Structure 1
Amino acid sequence: MPEILSRAALPQSLMPCHAIATEGTPMQPSSTVDPAVVDKDAPSPEWIADLSRRLPTEPEIERVLTRKLERRLDGPFTWPTFPEIETGLHSLMSAELGSRFHGVNHTKWLSGGASKVQVYFELSWTDDAGNAALTPMVLRMDPAASIQETSRRREFELLRAFRGIVPVPEVYWLDDMADHLPYPALVSGFVPGVTKPTGGSKSVSGLKATIDSDLRKSLGTQFIQHLAAIHNHNVDDPELRSFQRPDGVREVLKFQINAWDRVWQEDSDFDVPMVRLALAWLRDNVPDVDRLSVVHADYRTGNYLFTEDDARITAILDWEGGHVGDRHEDLAYTMNRMFGSDDEAGRFLVSGLMPEEQFLQEYSEAAGLPVVPQSLQFWKIFNCVKTVIISLATAYRISATRKTHQDVLVAWITGTEGVLLEELRLNLEEVF
């Protein structure tokens, strides 16, 4: 793997373009902090406050992004030991269960998860029915930094909101302020299943997903039905307590643009004019939305579990980026060619399941909602910008500063920047 250069090692021609990278995009207030003195690896309170002022977003997202910057001085990520994790679980379970808690057994690492540390364990307790039980569970915990900083509280609330509506893991307890565990975390139930067929694609993290032909119809039907149910859910569900939003539908969408613009300015070390152009275009072309929906924001093959013997989806995973927004964001994201593959006849299959036209038609029928081409194009560009920011800015920074538990995978993600930038360029060409 190529060596990741520190900024101090860069030649003058490749030094960071702070003056441009921190100035924001058209229609946004200018920075009051001299960009020449900004150290993104040791951000000052003044610069953090300046970002918050210029790029307002939802209070919970503001809290998470601010926490990310404040933790940059904490040093590299170090793997918690099992004794440390078990001590944290004992503390959390004792606080939540009192005398009903009996012990934690058989802790082990779970594979997968580019963003979060995942640990399997078995909880010995007296369950809610009053029976002695040994229950398989999963601890889902932040590392020092992720390729996408998200709120464990919001993930917890989404899992609670969708119980009985779509298949999700049962969620039990939350430690979003890391009062008990080394980092913010939640505890959910363990769900059986696989994320891809045993003999399927060996690609990274669900990329270029390949589904066996005999599984496509059954999984595809469920995949669409569950997405339709998510988008038809009441966005004012009382379980979604941390999903505060401004008045006005368009302001909700602008908050999403602000959040990713802020991440770009927090994490990027190089000016990329195409990113600035795309962010400016997004601000100028926010679409009208006929209704707000819960957006999963990472809905694709690789982020659901299914059992191979009966082709049943057992759990939809990775709700961490979920928010209130436009359903077309999910549709555009799911259709990304990174997440699908070609069938035997050479046709592209969305998430390895079905052709694009069939996907959109069956979704519209299941959801009872139209698919608006102009909105789909807007969110294709938005998702391109988002993935470029993750690859070119955040993945680079957390790899270089050793903040992630998935150092090899995250460093690999930085190498996808050329493909992602080309996809962004092609989508921008369609609107200019």
Structure 2
Amino acid sequence: MDITRGWDFASLDDPPPELIEELRRRYPVERETDRQLVRKLRRRGGAPYAPVSLQELSDAVARMLEDTIDGPFSVSDARWFTGGASKVQMGFVLEWEDGGRPRTDRLMVRMDPAESHNATSKLREFELLRALDGRLPVPEAFWVDDDARWFPYPALVYALIDGVAKPSRGVGANVAGLGTNFGPGLRERLAPQYLEYLARIHTLDLRDASLPSFDVPAVGTTQSALWELNRARRLWEEDRGVDVPLMEVAAGWLERTLPTLDHVSLVHGDYRSGNFLFDEGSARITGWLDWERAHLGDRHRDLAWSTQPVCGHYAEDGRTYLVCGLVPLDEFYDRYSELSGLEVDPERLRWYRVLNAYSMVASTVGSAWRVARLGKTHQDILLARVEGMRGVVLEELRTLLEDVR
């Protein structure tokens, strides 16, 4: 365990400041990413996740509203929301006055547990949702509690969007929305929208947007790829409990072959089925969710993520692979290029496929294992199941590395 210079894996249950600083020095990342990872490690030695009741969350909402709005308000119909492999979710109805105008909003709180297998920034997600309002169908962001001033843990409050993440009838989806089967009818109507929104996201001009927590990588350099690689390597070193030689091989190849950036895009970070809602009657996509991994960088990260095998399935003929259950793989890239005006570079795509596979191993064999082991989340059973995917994700990484030798 060279990175820890003598500390063993158990030291990561409550890492000393010297170890945290060594990881920061070895693997520099974006400012906001670094802040989140440091906060995660500094809080790791604290108490396990404690269940939070609906009343406690409702009280937290009330405290926040008392401090942030003027005038009367009422919070009602508090209820749990399922979904979200790493967040606590509560819906509620808010009656209030906004600038003297009465309004009623259906809202949701998305709150972190004590530690999530995704160390992400509520502040960054809040800024981005505000910037995308009117440009894409996204939830309206109302408030953010990035430092857990009002809530037990960092939280984001945004509007509920009507729609479903999978068909109400049919095969449905696996864990976390992976491999959703929409069926031929819905597939035909949703696929063009799926591609159109991906192209739109990657070509958005956000120069006039207020995104102070986002760093902008330099075109013509490897900065964007290095930030993403270092984030994945840091997660692996911070969370793992075993040595996996294959990960060392992968990290070495990724570092030697860093691609340069040709165009700065907004990257969703988890663009796939399960992360958009749609109306079943009209087959219209009503909202894009889960922007917690979004960053400014290389579009090939999203392209490689959407097309990884675990996100899709084969069509009824048993031969045609469907990207996220929607569009044949051989059509996906051509149609994307037509819509976006951006090329798909096979070499960059290959690099990000390997990076994504590396990240999946870090998330499952590393983060999911340690978070569940320390009792840091309400989703310990789900994370234990996710950690059980180690054989699948390691084989995917091994296969990809065989192809790039």
Fold match (TM-score > 0.5): yes
Answering whether residue 404 of structure 2 is matched by residue 431 of structure 1, we say: yes
In 1, distance between residues paired with 2:317 and 2:59?
54
Please name the residue that 2:308 is paired with: 336
Structure 1 gaps of 5+ residues are: 1-18, 24-30
Alpha carbons of structure 1 residues 227 and 152: separation in structure 2 relative to 1, 3 Å = same
Corresponding residue for 2:227?
Answer: 255
Shift of 1:37: 8.6
Match of 1:112 in 2: 83
1:351 to 2:324 alignment: yes
Q: 5 Å matches for 1:101-180?
A: 101-128=72-99, 130-180=100-150
Contact map agreement 1:110 1:119 (CA 8 A) in 2: yes
Alpha-carbon distance between aligned partners in 2 of 1:244 and 1:92, rounded to the nearest angstrom: 29
Partner of 1:385: 358
**1:230-241 matches, cutoff 5 A:** 230-241=201-212
Of the three residues 376, 389, 400, the one matched with 1:416 is 389
* TM-score, with structure 2 as normaliser: 0.96
- Report how far residue 202 of structure 1 moved: 4.1
Distance in 2 between residues matched to 1:332 and 1:202, nearest whole Å: 20
Aligned 8 A contact 1:295 1:327 in 2: yes
Provide closer, same or farther for how the CA distance between residues 56 and 84 of structure 1 changes in structure 2, counting only shifts above 3 A: same
Q: Sequence identity, in percent?
A: 41
Q: Choose which of 24, 32, 42 in structure 2 pairs with 1:52.
A: 24
> How far, CA to CA, are the matches of 2:93 and 2:195 in structure 1?
33
CA distance in 2, matches of 1:164, 1:218: 23
* Structure-1 residue corresponding to 2:39: 67
The one-character-per-residue Cα deviations of 1:174-218 (angstroms, maximum 9, x if unpaired) are 110111111101110011110000113242111221112111122
Deviation at 1:131, TM superposition (A): 3.0
- Structure 1 contact 136–190 (Cα < 8 Å) conserved: yes
Question: Paired residue for 1:363?
Answer: 336
Q: Which residue of 1 aligns with 2:160?
A: 190
| Equivalent residues of 1:165, 1:229 under 8 A apart | no
Deviation at 1:36, TM superposition (A): 4.3
Q: Secondary structure of 2:70's partner?
A: helix
SS class of match (1:98): coil
Provide the rounded CA distance (Å) in 2 between the counterparts of 1:73 and 1:283.
31
CA RMSD of aligned residues (A): 1.4
Aligned partner of residue 44 in structure 2, secondary structure = helix
Q: What's 1:42 paired with? A: 14
Report the Cα distance in structure 2 between the residues aligned to 1:356 and 1:247, rounded to whole angstroms.
Answer: 31
Partner amino acid, structure 1, of 2:176? S
Q: What is the distance in 1 between the residues matched to 2:363 and 2:30?
A: 20
AA paired with 1:308? Answer: E
Offset at residue 103 of structure 1 (A): 1.7
**Distance (Å, rounded) in 2 between the aligned partners of 1:327 and 1:168:** 19
CA contact (8 A) 1:156 1:186 kept: yes
Q: Residues 137, 429 of structure 1: CA spacing in aligned structure 2 closer, same or farther, 3 A cutoff? A: same
Larger displacement relative to structure 2 (234-243 or 80-89): 234-243
Q: Please tell me whether the aligned partners of residues 12 and 239 of structure 2 are also in contact (alpha carbons under 8 angstroms).
A: yes
Q: What's the counterpart of residue 279 of structure 1?
A: 251
5+ residue gaps, structure 2, are: none
What is the rounded CA distance, in whole Å, between the counterparts of 1:235 and 1:52 in structure 2? 29
In structure 2, the partner of 1:28 is none
Is the Cα–Cα contact under 8 Å of residues 179 and 273 in structure 2 kept in the other structure?
A: no
